[in-house]
Amino acid sequence: MELLAHVKKIYFNKDNLSDADMQISRKMSVFEGCTARSILTLTSGAFLVGFAKFLGASNQISGIISAIPVLAGIIMAFSPIVFEKMENRKFITCLFCFIGRLLLGMMIIIPFIKSSQVFQLSLLIAVFFIANLLIAFTLPASQTWILDITPEKIRGVYFGRRESIVLGAVTIITLVMGQVLDRYEKHGEMLTGFIILYIFVICAAIANFILFTNIKEPYNKLAKNRVSFKYIFTIPLKNNVYMIVVLLMALWNIGFQLAARFTSVYMVSHLKLGYSLITIMTVLASITSVLSVRWWGRLADKKSWLYLIKLMVVIQIICFFIWFFINRNTLFLLPIAHILSGAAISGINISINNIQYTFSPKENKTIYMGFSSAVNGIFGFCGTLAGAYFIKNTDTLGYNAAGFTIENMQMIFLTAGVLLMGCLIVIRMLKKFEEYATVQT
């Protein structure tokens, strides 16, 4: 009985939180963010591609696996159906996040299963997909939870400081793990390096669960109008203006995901870069994101969100064109590509969210945002599949012009840049409805 009472007190709060409770919870959230982001970084990008290729995955399969989190994000459109019916969301959120992150760490068991290469890769895909599905399902609830314990007047300062601390911690951890993998790879003991990495992920998952559990959740009042499965799709489809926004999201995700998931594959497989250097490049992009996002916010306030997203799309197009020219002889372009990518993504993230919010009607904004999440996931994953199909069928493709070698992955980067130009046309279409967006907000 005492155990049940303790569990009820932790996970099923019915009282309003004091200022002190929320302050402590916000501090706890910073450390929770460090563990969560570390797990995300160590089980994605070059680390994930390296593990998949260790199991025998081809370049196209590695790219598809790295895009699984995008596909899993579709479930975010449906999670409000469940969470809007719950007064307390903490228990499900903590449990699903823990199981998902623990599964990511348990992927290290796969190499020890004596079976065919196909079975091992199939198991990797299945476990990775289920893990990301569980984590993505809780994302809307966890984001709302943290926002609820952070007063609006301090959100900018708090989340800026939180992001800086999280980035600093993740930078140190990823650099260390990159060194570990490089050291064991040189000695021909790659499996040992991955064992150390995934054991750390398991420990981080346990620590994350403890920290997450100690963040107090405010009592959630149930919505008067229940969200239904039918309305998630029918309401946005009837709004012609919002469907232009959806078209913009679809074009962006197809173009971006066509190539973005293969940058890590390209660095590992074609450029043969060490994990330490790849990690440094990733950190460089992250630092650029954190430093530039405030400037982009001010620019959007001065101009508009459509102006900002147009600028970010142009920067990303330039970034992909730079990737087209990167080979073993032009590695000096790598930092430039990562800096531009980091700057573009930070601006894209805030502008996409605000444009979706701005162009959706006052009523049912959650449904519109959820619909966009589903579209982003579907078209983003289709973009990656298209990239994988291209790589598979052009494996022997190669050109040499004036001593400059062009391979199939470089063609993917060039194609992605050209496709993203379509976003600029749609943005021009949306400009005609800016007055409509002003009315909605």
Q: Where are the alpha helices (DSSP H) in 12-44?
A: 19-42
127 & 262 share domain:
no
CA distance 64 to 388: 7
* Predicted confidence pLDDT, tens digits, the chain (441 residues): 676 766 777 777 767 777 888 888 889 999 999 999 999 999 988 899 899 999 998 878 888 888 898 888 888 778 777 776 767 778 888 999 999 999 999 999 999 998 899 999 999 999 999 999 999 888 877 877 887 788 867 766 777 678 778 878 888 898 899 889 989 988 889 999 999 999 999 999 999 999 999 888 887 666 566 666 677 777 788 888 888 988 998 999 999 988 888 888 888 888 888 888 888 898 888 888 878 877 887 788 888 889 989 999 999 999 999 999 998 888 999 999 999 998 998 888 778 877 877 787 766 666 777 778 778 888 888 888 888 888 877 776 667 766 667 778 888 999 999 999 999 999 998 888 766 555 554
Task: Please give the pLDDT value at position 6.
Answer: 65
- Count of domains in the chain? 2
CB 374 within 8 A of CB 77: yes
DSSP 8-state code for residue 219: P
184 and 246 share one domain: no
Task: Specify the 3-state DSSP secondary structure of 395.
Answer: coil
Give yes or no: residues 323 and 213 share one domain. no
Do 284 and 166 lie in one domain? The reply is no
Our CA angle for 159, 162, 165, nearest 5°, is 150
CB 180 within 8 A of CB 193: yes
Whole-number pLDDT of residue 66: 85
Token pair for 55:
């199991």
Q: Running DSSP on this structure, what letter comes out for residue 111?
A: G
Do 263 and 198 fall within a single domain?
no
Q: What is the pLDDT, as a whole number, of residue 363?
A: 65
Is residue 293 located within the same domain as residue 376? yes
**Same domain, yes or no: 58 and 93:** yes
Rounded to whole angstroms, what are the CA distances from 417 to 51, 255, 409? 28, 7, 13
Q: 301: number of CA atoms within 13 Å, CB side? A: 6
Last residue within a domain, chosen from 171, 203, 220? 220
Residue 224, pLDDT score = 60
Strands 404-407 and 398-401: antiparallel
Q: Which residues on neighbouring strands pair with residue 399, listed in sequence order?
A: 406
**Token reading at 5:** 């009472």
Same domain assignment for residues 272 and 410 = yes
Sign of the torsion formed by the C-alpha atoms of 148, 150, 151 and 155: negative
Looking at the structure, do residues 284 and 331 belong to the same domain, yes or no? yes
* pLDDT value for 169: 86
Amino acid at residue number 178? G
Among 220, 248, 271, residue at a domain's last position: 220
Same domain, residue pair 15 and 82: yes
The domain in which residue 412 lies consists of 228-441
Cβ-based burial of 69 (10 A; exposed 0-12, middle 13-18, buried ≥19): buried
* Helical residues (DSSP H) of 187-274, grouped into ranges: 190-213, 229-237, 240-260, 262-265
Per-residue model confidence (pLDDT) at position 45: 82
Q: Are 283 and 171 in contact (CB under 8 A)?
A: yes
Answer yes or no: do 250 and 145 share one domain. no
- Angstrom CA distances, 410 to 8, 46, 258, 340, stand at 55, 18, 12, 17
Question: Which CATH number belongs to the domain containing residue 118 in this structure?
Answer: 1.20.1250.20
d(CA 266, CA 253): 20
202 and 335 both lie in a single domain: no
Residues 6+ positions from 16 with CB-CB distance below 8 Å: 218, 219
Out of 220, 254, 289, a domain closes at 220
